[in-house]
């Protein structure tokens, strides 16, 4: 782990969090239930989590008092197991990845952003975890993760998740919510079983129109039974080949904040569809109306509105596929470079592929095509690269614009919407040649 966060003293770190609320911090990080005499010690999954985070077994763990922060985390932020993420909020935890840390074709687990709407489950025991499939199915079923692994084909795919609010920070007037800039997007390699196979085994009844997803996280209010978020997708989307029930991330376990031990991955649609800490999928004969499915959540006006305009709730539509977009991941914004610059990044478009990425270094006057890799599989982003020759010393901007398989190109500007969703304007990176 690195300590990029230490350059930002205004961000709460692990020590502040433990000082403020040691019991909550213990539970959030290690699933440790502190006893009233503060001598509770770690067991089971909590101990395994701490051991994974310090990178070794802890022979004397029984002597560790409750609320003890391993000194191994001395200068670390709240983002244990994450590398260089920018913290946007600590309750619920939200953190994005600076673009230059997203340079890999496959996003390492340590660099996958975190978007939590509530409080993650504590004391997670993967061996005891179950998923229930019910609602309008012939055979309601409950599976352990081992059941899923033995009954269905296990597949590994690179799949893109982008938060519907990625880019919200650039809306004017500002839109409420996490002020994501560029980095609420990632393309990890997920291992799991196809949702389609599991739904087919359960027997999808005629008349099913939507899925409903329930996770094990709890509402910020602490109110029992109140879900922080429960979203769904049209049954046709749920039955596509690249929708996974994932129990593996990049060859290892899922990071606790990315939904361990089981999550949905629905690539190319708003990240909110990809329920983390997944416990239940219910098939319904109506469009799901769980928390964050209605009102202005993950919905946009069905017509163009003036910036700041009030929009009637009944004029909103649910966001489905995410729009064509690209991200420059090298060089970093503001970098000093020589006059020959290798430009790299990724491009994606929900349910489509990318046909071309063009690069400009003269503020959009001329464009050159970048070389573009095929996606690792359907639902992965595509990597582009180009060598740019800058004519001399000075300030430059590199711009990237992607065009997808339907011929749709990224815009210079997008229409405002009340919650700041779907910002797919071109990414610009500043360069200085000495």
Ligand X SMILES: Nc1nc2c(c(=O)[nH]1)N[C@H]1C(S)=C(S)[C@@H](COP(=O)(O)O)O[C@H]1N2
Contacts to ligand X by CB under 6 A: 112-118, 161, 163, 215, 217, 228-229, 258-259, 271-272, 274-277
Nearest distance from C-beta of residue 391 to ligand X, angstroms:
40
Q: Which is nearer to ligand X, 190 or 399 (CB)?
A: 190
Residue 163 contacts Mo ion per CB under 5 A: yes
Cβ closer to Mo ion: 94 or 249? 94
- Residue with Cβ nearer ligand X (116 or 423): 116
Q: 76 or 217, CB closer to ligand X?
A: 217
Task: Tell me: does residue 213 bind Mo ion (CB under 5 A).
Answer: no
Of 34-42, 45-53, 157-165, 420-428, which part binds Mo ion (CB under 5 A)? 157-165
Least distance to ligand X, CB of residue 19, Å: 26
| Reduced 3-state DSSP string for the chain | CCCHHHHCCCCCEHHHHHHHCHHHHHHHHHCCCCCCCCCCCCCHHHHHHHHHHHCCCCCCHHHCCCCCCCHHHCCCECCCCCCCCEEEEECCEEEECCHHHHCCCCCCHHHCCEECCCECCCCCCHHHCEEEEEECECCCEEEEHHHHHHHCCEEEEEEEEECCCCCHHHCCCCCCCCCCCCCCEEEEEEEEEEHHHHHHHHCECCCCCEEEEEECCECCCCCCCCCCCCCCCEHHHHCCCCCEEEEEECCECCCHHHCCCCEEECCCCEHHHCCCCEEEEEEECCCCCCCCCCCCCCEEECCCCCCCCCCCHHHEEECCCCCCEEEEEECCCCEEECCEEEEEEEEEECCECEEEEEEECCCCCCCEECEECCCCCCCCCEEEEEEEECCCCEEEEEEEEEEECCCCECCCCCCCCCCCCCCCCCEEEEEEEC
Q: Kindly tell me which residue out of 82, 112, 115, 194 binds Mo ion, with binding defined by CB under 5 A.
A: 115
User: With respect to ligand X, which residue has the nearer C-beta, 113 or 399?
Assistant: 113
**Distance of closest approach, residue 380 Cβ to ligand X, in angstroms:** 16
Residue 161 is a binding residue for Mo ion (CB under 5 A): no
Under the binding rule (CB under 5 A), the answer on residue 272 touching Mo ion is: yes
Rounded least distance, CB 422 to ligand X, Å: 13
CB of 265 to ligand X, least distance (A): 9
Residue 179 as a binder of Mo ion (CB under 5 A): the answer is no
- Give min distance, CB of 430 to Mo ion, in A: 28
Residue 121 or 135: the one with the smaller Cβ distance to ligand X is 121
Least distance from Mo ion to the Cβ atom of residue 257, Å? 13
**Residue whose CB is less far from Mo ion, 46 or 232:** 232
Among 99, 120, 232, 271, binds Mo ion (CB under 5 A): 271
277 binds, among ligand X, Mo ion, none (CB under 5 to 8 A by kind): ligand X
The answer to whether 111 contacts Mo ion (rule: CB under 5 A) is no
Binding site for Mo ion (CB under 5 A): 115, 163, 271-272
């Amino acid at each position: 782990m690195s300590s990029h966060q230490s350059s930002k003293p205004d961000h709460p770190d692990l020590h502040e969090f433990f000082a403020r609320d040691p019991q909550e911090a213990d539970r959030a990080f290690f699933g440790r239930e502190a006893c009233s005499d503060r001598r509770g010690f770690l067991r089971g999954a909590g101990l395994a989590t701490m051991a994974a985070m310090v990178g070794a077994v802890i022979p004397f763990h029984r002597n560790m008092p409750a609320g003890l922060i391993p000194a191994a985390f001395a200068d670390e932020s709240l983002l244990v197991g994450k590398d260089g993420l920018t913290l946007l909020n600590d309750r619920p935890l939200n953190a994005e990845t600076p673009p230059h840390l997203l340079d890999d074709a496959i996003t390492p687990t340590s660099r996958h952003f975190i978007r939590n709407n509530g409080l993650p489950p504590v004391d997670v025991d993967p061996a005891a975890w179950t998923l229930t499939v019910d609602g309008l199915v012939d055979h309601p079923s409950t599976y352990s993760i081992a059941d899923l692994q033995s009954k269905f084909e296990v597949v590994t795919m690179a799949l893109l998740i982008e938060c519907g609010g990625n880019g919200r920070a650039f809306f004017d007037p500002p839109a409420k919510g996490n002020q994501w800039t560029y980095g609420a997007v990632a393309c990890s390699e997920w291992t799991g079983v196809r949702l389609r196979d599991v739904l087919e085994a359960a027997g999808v009844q005629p008349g099913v129109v939507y899925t409903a997803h329930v996770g094990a996280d709890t509402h910020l209010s602490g109110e029992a039974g109140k879900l922080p978020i429960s979203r769904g997708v049209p049954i046709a989307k749920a039955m596509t080949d690249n929708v996974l029930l994932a129990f593996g991330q990049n060859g290892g376990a899922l990071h606790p904040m990315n939904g361990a031990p089981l999550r949905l991955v629905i690539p190319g649609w708003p990240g909110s569809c990809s329920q983390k800490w997944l416990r239940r999928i219910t098939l319904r004969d109506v469009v799901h109306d769980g928390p964050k499915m209605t009102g202005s959540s993950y919905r946009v006006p069905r017509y163009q509105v003036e910036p700041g305009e009030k929009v009637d709730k009944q004029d909103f539509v649910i966001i489905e596929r995410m729009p064509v977009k690209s991200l420059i991941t090298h060089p970093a914004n503001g970098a000093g470079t020589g006059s020959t610059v290798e430009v790299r990044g990724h491009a994606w478009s929900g349910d489509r592929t990318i046909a071309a990425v063009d690069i400009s270094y003269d503020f959009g006057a001329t464009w050159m095509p970048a070389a573009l890799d095929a996606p690792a599989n359907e639902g992965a982003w595509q990597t582009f690269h180009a060598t740019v020759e800058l004519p001399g010393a000075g300030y430059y901007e590199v711009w990237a614009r992607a065009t997808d398989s339907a011929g749709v190109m990224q815009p210079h500007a997008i229409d405002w919407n009340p919650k700041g969703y779907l910002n797919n304007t071109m990414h610009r990176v500043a360069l200085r040649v000495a």
